[in-house]
Amino acid sequence: MTATTNRPALRLSLGPISYYWAKEKVDDFYAMAADAPVDIVYLGETICAKRNQLRFEDWLAIGERLEAAGKEVVLSTLALLEAESELIRLRSICDNDRWLVEANDMGAVHLLQGRPFAVGHSVNVYNDRTLALLARQGCKRWVLPVELTHETLAEMQQARPDGVETEVLGYGRLPLAYSARCFTARARNLPKDDCQGVCIDDPDGLVVSTQDDNRFLALNGIQTQSARTMNLLPELGRMRALGVDILRISPQANRTDQVIDLFHRVMTGELDPLDASDRLAQLMPTGPCDGYWHGAAGMDVQFRAGQAA
Amino acid sequence: MELVCPAGNLPSLKAAVDNGANAVYTGFRDDTNARHFAGLNFTPAKLTEGVRYARRKGVRLFIALNTYPQPGGFSRWQQAVDRAADLGVDALIAADIGVLDYAAQRHPGLNLHLSVQGSATNYEALKFYRDHFGVRRAVLPRVLSMSQIRHVVEHSPVEIEVFAFGSLCVMVEGRCILSSYATGRSPNTYGACSPASHVEWRETSNGLDTRLGGVLIQRHPKGENVGYPTLCKGTFRVGDNTYHAIEDPTSLNAMELLPRLVAAGVKAVKIEGRQRSPVYVAQVTRVWRQALDAFERAPEDFRPRPEWTAELGKVSEGAQTTLGAYHRPWQ
């Protein structure tokens, strides 16, 4: 274990809301976040441009409130950019001169070059040569792609360019795929062009089960997620040793405040990570997984609830 | 319009060349490309033979190096780039920024194409790859509609190639990890989706179950045709409905869009299927050559002939074809 004394303490971030929530639910959520022990909050729609409960100005207003509450605000961008209207919106986000932007597509990276920016987990940073090139363009923060292991992260950390922060998704349903097709509309027998925003009915996504009743995936519009929630809290010690800067919690429909609280209390040493993970398992819509980090199938479970002494 | 055909071995390469391909794309025999299947692909010696064969007939040869190396394995991808450059291939098809950077720095004369695995769906992304690596062509993911393709081509700094026929990815290529979620292996990390090593076929009293990484993908009643358990084409349950929740077992066939693809300025059409047999490659290449020639002779009158559609239907997954995302209602 290497000394970490020269690095600032591990910070906690709240990732963008990946689901379609009503505006009041979003406002309530960020009112909670303003008082919660998170350091960084990522804002904005990253999945589908047709979700219109909040306008760009609404996001900016939320950002201002969070900044006033002492949070670092980052604006996140769409992962899948197809239409010109989406590029127009992207340009206005990238042109903001107030907050850092998280690029979730190489189109956003292209627009942000020459300024400081972050890249999210849907930008494929699988090796140090990729990270070095992005750093030369202004990348200040990257998020480990979720299918990579702690061993790969260790290799990446050794070669990490100066001035680049590493963030790891620590909690949330896993982002697994993006498509042109809207699977939520398909499940409702609606055409995508007339989807009526039905994904607003599934604030944690719509579960897909196998024919033998294994809750397997969650449909979130054009995105497919895991049904299980990844939890890397038991790996906190290893993350610190690897010099991870930021641990990310991905919002869920209910009790995200309790998730944040458990992470925070483990980070301050108040709670044991395994005890806290037992409690986290109770808060998940389906149950936990952590396979990717350990080099197994993503859905696998290395840490099992009830394992805590 | 360039016809780009797949080859997983030398007989397939010859079949593509002999039946009218303008270019053939291949891969080395390891996880440096996204068709990393047992017994498939080319040793350097075989590829040397392939390059010679294609050259003699005036056909271009591309090599795909389109997976995402991690730091520990990066030198193997470098060696593969060097080998491709030494072979004098007409294009290297790559996805990873690190690999593209190495290729552009080390072999400035090497013609680079952005693989479909590079997930570039908009012209701003294409500008990045042109500016940094001098990429001259990009293969678009199978997620754009026909009008979106036209818009990308109009603003693109590089030539555009699109998939025209073959197995259909319903997800943005290069950004789908469904396979590793169930098996630990994905196209990005391992060069294979739904790998055969993780497939189980289990007889039950009602028929046959197919599983991937232990996950039930398909339940076949007795007597039903059994397909390969590709994860996204499985039958799942959402609410009270049991159906192909993600995509039906079907193949892409964009032949009827050929006039619109040409009018949009698309430079090349790609046939999927490096994992398929030389017979498949010969059949599909021949039919598409006929279609492209017919279009060139009389663009106004072009319509896919029933015999072409029938022939392509025979080699399609589930014996059915779709226009996929090119056709808006599919989305």
**Packed helices B74-87 and B44-56: angle between N→C axes, nearest 10 degrees:** 30
Mutate to test the interface with B, among A91, A105, A213 (most CBs of B within 10 A): A105
pLDDT class for B124, splitting at 50, 70, 90?
A: very high
Structure tokens at A195: 């989807």
Superfamily of domain A11-176+241-294: Aldolase class I (3.20.20.70)
Total CB pairs under 8 A between chain A and B: 216
- Residues within 8 A of B (CB atoms), A 227-286 only: none
Q: How far is CA A170 from CA A5, A145, B225, B313, in A?
A: 22, 12, 42, 46
- The answer to whether residues B256 and B142 belong to one domain is yes
Please tell me the pTM assigned to this model. Answer: 0.96
- Mean pLDDT of all residues in B209-237: 93
Q: How far apart are CA A295 and CA A276, in angstroms?
A: 23
Q: What residues of A are in contact with residue B69 (Cβ under 8 Å)?
A: 126-127
Angle between helices B97-106 and A128-137 (to 10 degrees): 80
Residue B209, pLDDT above cutoff 90: yes
Same-domain check for residues B282 and B194: no
Closest residue, chain A, to B149 (C-alpha)? A82
Is the pLDDT score of A27 beyond 70? yes
> What letter does residue B303 receive in the DSSP assignment?
-
Q: What is the pLDDT of residue A3?
A: 44
Is the pLDDT reported for residue B251 higher than 50?
A: yes
Residue B311 burial by Cβ neighbours in a 10 Å radius (0-12, 13-18, 19+): middle
Here the ipTM equals 0.96
Given B199, B221, B243, the domain boundary residue is B243
Q: What is the pLDDT of residues A240-264, one digit of tens each?
A: 999 999 999 999 999 999 999 999 9
d(CA A167, CA A146): 11
What strands lie across the sheet with B207-212, from one edge to the other?
B199-204, B207-212, B215-221
In degrees, rounded to 5, the angle at the alpha carbon of residue A128 between the alpha carbons of residues A179 and A225 is: 25
B-chain residues within 8 Å CB-CB of A189?
Answer: none
Closest of A158, A144, A169 to residue B72, by C-alpha: A158
> What is the structure's pLDDT at A33?
98
Contact A66, A34 (CB under 8 A): yes
Tell whether A134 is within 8 A of chain B (Cβ): yes
pLDDT at A307: 64
| Tokens linked to A227 | 């049904």
- Chain B residues near residue A111 by CB distance under 8 angstroms: 124
Select from B196, B223, B243 the last residue of a domain.
B243
The mean pLDDT of B234-241, rounded to a whole number, is 96
Which residue of chain B has the CA closest to A157? B71
Q: Identify the DSSP state of A55.
A: -
Q: How many C-beta atoms lie closer than 10 Å to residue A23's C-beta?
A: 12
Q: How many domains does chain B have?
A: 2
B224 plus B303 within the same structural domain: no
B189 and B145 inside one domain: no
- Across chain A, mean pLDDT equals 95
Do B308 and B159 share a domain, yes or no? yes
Does residue B117 contact residue B173 with C-beta atoms inside 8 Å? yes
Query: Is residue A105 very low, low, confident or very high in pLDDT (cuts 50, 70, 90)?
Result: very high
**Domain range summary for chain A, segments of one domain joined by +:** 11-176+241-294
Give the pLDDT score at A305: 67
Taking the Cβ of residue A179 and every Cβ of chain B, the question of whether any pair is shorter than 8 Å is answered with: yes
For B234, the domain range is 178-243
At residue A162, the pLDDT reads 96
Domain boundary, last residue among B191, B222, B243: B243
With a cut of 80, say whether residue B43 has pLDDT above it.
yes
Question: Do B191 and B296 have their domain in common?
Answer: no
CA distance B224 to B318: 11
Average pLDDT of span A194-204:
97
Residues B20, B32: Cα–Cα separation, whole Å: 27
